[in-house]
Amino acid sequence: MVTAEVIIGVDLNGIVTGINVGGAGFSETSGLGSKVKNEEFRAQFRGGHGVFGLNGAGETSVDAVTGATTSSAAVVSAVNTAYAYILELMA
């Protein structure tokens, strides 16, 4: 089983300030799935809020990494889960 850490920052207004992807268990294919760690992908979450979705879906759309849709979707799912939890804590 592949595991990875997705860490997100959220300000007091519920806006994502950034995310980080990786961790000791991160083992995506170099040059493909590993690109979800690149700033170009991660920067798409900064300033977003609500439900994140891939390629035009969600309140905040994130473009999938070419050739790594599954990895991109996994990060989006993790961000959505963490974001919802953080908003619950802020309520």
For 22, the token pair is 């990786």
6 DSSP β-pair partners: 21
Residues whose CB falls within 8 Å of the CB of residue 12, separated by 6 or more in sequence, listed in order: 90
Half-sphere exposure of residue 83: CA atoms within 13 angstroms, side-chain side? 23
Overall number of domains in the chain: 1
What tens-digit pLDDT sequence spans the chain (91 residues)? 456 789 999 999 999 999 999 877 777 667 777 899 899 999 999 999 999 999 999 999 999 999 889 889 999 999 999 999 999 999 8
Domain encompassing residue 76: 5-90
Give the containing element (helix H, strand E) for 72. Answer: helix 69-90
